[in-house]
Amino acid sequence: MTTVPEHVAAGLRAMEVEVPSWAYGNSGTRFKVFAQAGVPRDPYEKVADAAQVHRFTGAAPSVSLHIPWDRVEDYGKLTQHAEDLGVRLGVINANVFQDDDYMLGSVTHPDPRVRRKATDHLLECVDVMDATGSTDLKLWFSDGTNYPGQDDIRARQDRLAEALREVYDRLGDDQRMLLEYKLFEPAFYTMDVPDWGTAFAHCIALGEKAEVVVDTGHHAPGTNIEFIVATLLRAGRLGAFDFNSRFYADDDLMVGSADPFQLFRILHECVVGGAVTAESTVRFMLDQCHNIEPKIPGQIRSVMNVQESTAKALLVDHDALAAAQSAGDVLGANAVLMDAFDTDVRPLLAAFREEQGLDPDPMAAYAASGYADAIVADRVGGTQAGWGA
């Protein structure tokens, strides 16, 4: 039987993947949202679905919430619900892009009334963090402009900085602000936080509790994401990942499905930079849209993809790599890295799961569990969750 090297097992244990509550609701494109049977109707059902992912992978112990999509009357009750199901609530995601007031921006809107409203929502999210015990506030702003001249690029940065400052100052000692960037969509000329440089500049202006989120689908074509990861780790400012994959834009496909070698390279930099350890504060989250595939299996497969890439990254022979690098042996150094990537780690992961008392094949185990049929049968009536709820 395959044995799992201890340093690999330690790394895999440290690799906890947080799943997003909204992945279990319906999603789609501007052209069509195809509804799926059995989709949750409320945050409690979303958490229940998320718990299935952890049940079969053992690697997804927490669930990100999205406010207001996951607003509930009693966060203590939701927290307890999660614990009862063997998971916990994670990062709180603010949403300042769906109110009618935000058509031209939220915290960067030219109208101070709208900015106040948006900032108040961010502060409310910190309240939710206090209520749930969440330590991380994740901020993604859809703010931007569609047409040259539409608004003043620089003034919008000033407004953004002002709002971030107010929210930052509201954070507790153990709370962080995670600032996400995105190249485009929904704005098509400027985004107010389009790239890691902009997020980084705001974070260093704010203070040590502000860190950058890397969403793997939010870059221009050709961007070397692992370079950004290495650079942010070096600067001590990598807060979290939103994992997904893409061929074109922000496709939000399953992580590892479009370019598994890229995912491996990213995780290699995480290993090199110390982010795959029990002590690391870097969060690894999924942020995906299962538009045409079933959602829970889509999440399970994604967690498995992260685990497989992590295992490969942990298998890199760092001594051999360093020796080839310092010798200027281009092909030799590349070969060391490729040797790990080319390894079939599925037997290793099967063994790792069995050591943890899990089924070695999470996809098959979930399929056999009957959960999919049960939710289709049970969840009759109500309004299915989606990006609007």
- Site residues for a copy of itself, window 204-243 (CB under 8 A)? 204, 219-224, 226-228, 230-231, 233-235
Site size for a copy of itself (CB under 8 A): 104
State the minimum distance, in angstroms, from the CB of residue 347 to a copy of itself.
10
Q: Does 338 bind a copy of itself (CB under 8 A)?
A: yes
Q: 23 vs 82, which CB is nearer to a copy of itself?
A: 23
For a copy of itself, the closer CB: 89 or 238: 238
Task: Round to whole Å and give the CA distance between 287 and 247.
Answer: 16
Q: Which two tokens stand for residue 237?
A: 């400012």
Measuring CA to CA, which residue among 233, 304, 220 is closest to residue 266? Answer: 233
Which of 321/385 has CB closer to a copy of itself? Answer: 321
Q: How far is the CB of 213 from a copy of itself (least distance, A)?
A: 14
CB of 201 to a copy of itself, least distance (A): 6
Cβ of residue 256: shortest distance to a copy of itself, in angstroms? Answer: 9
One of 3, 281, 334, 383 touching a copy of itself (CB under 8 A)? 334
Interface with a copy of itself (CB under 8 A), residue from 172, 197, 207, 382:
197
Asked if residue 14 binds a copy of itself (CB under 8 A), the reply is no
Residue 119 to residue 113: CA distance in whole angstroms: 10
> For the chain, what percentages of helix, strand and coil (3-state, to nearest 5) are there?
50, 15, 40
Work out which of 37, 330, 374, 377 binds a copy of itself, going by CB under 8 A. Answer: 330
> What are the structure tokens assigned to 74, written together?
């009693």
Q: Which of the residues 239 through 278 are near a copy of itself (CB under 8 A)?
A: 246-249, 251, 253-254, 257-262, 265, 269, 272-273
| Binding of a copy of itself by 323 (CB under 8 A) | no
We find the least distance from the C-beta atom of residue 81 to a copy of itself, in angstroms, to be 28
Please identify, using beta-carbon distances, which residue of 248 and 278 lies nearer to a copy of itself: 248
CA distance 257 to 247: 9
Tell me which of 117, 341, 365, 369 binds a copy of itself, using CB under 8 A: 341
368 forms part of the interface with a copy of itself (CB under 8 A)? no
Q: Is 389 in the site for a copy of itself (CB under 8 A)?
A: no
Residue placing its CB nearer to a copy of itself in the complex, 78 or 275: 275
Residue 103 to residue 83: CA distance in whole angstroms: 38
User: Distance between CA 340 and CA 122 in Å, rounded?
Assistant: 43
Residue 36 zone, left/alpha/beta (φ > 0; ψ -120 to 50; rest):
beta
Query: What is the rounded CA–CA span in Å between residue 117 and residue 128?
Result: 17
**Cβ 43 to a copy of itself shortest distance, Å:** 20
What is the C-alpha separation between 274 and 212, in angstroms, rounded?
16
What φ, ψ does residue 245 adopt, rounded to 5°? -140, 165
By DSSP bridging, strand 32-33 and strand 28-29 are antiparallel
Query: Does the protein bind a copy of itself through residue 361 (CB under 8 A)?
Result: no
204 Ramachandran zone, left/alpha/beta (phi>0; psi -120 to 50): alpha
The whole-angstrom separation of Cα 314 and Cα 366 is: 27
Site string for a copy of itself, 137-176 (x = CB under 8 A): -----x---xxxxxxxxx--xx------------------
Residues 6+ apart with CB under 8 A from 4: 12, 348, 351, 352, 355
**String marking each residue 69-108 x if it binds a copy of itself according to CB under 8 A:** ----------------------------xx-x-xxx----
Distance CA 134, CA 171 (A): 11
Distance, CA of 307 to CA of 288 (rounded, Å): 17
Chain positions 290 to 319 lying near a copy of itself, rule: CB under 8 A, are 291-294, 297-298, 301, 308
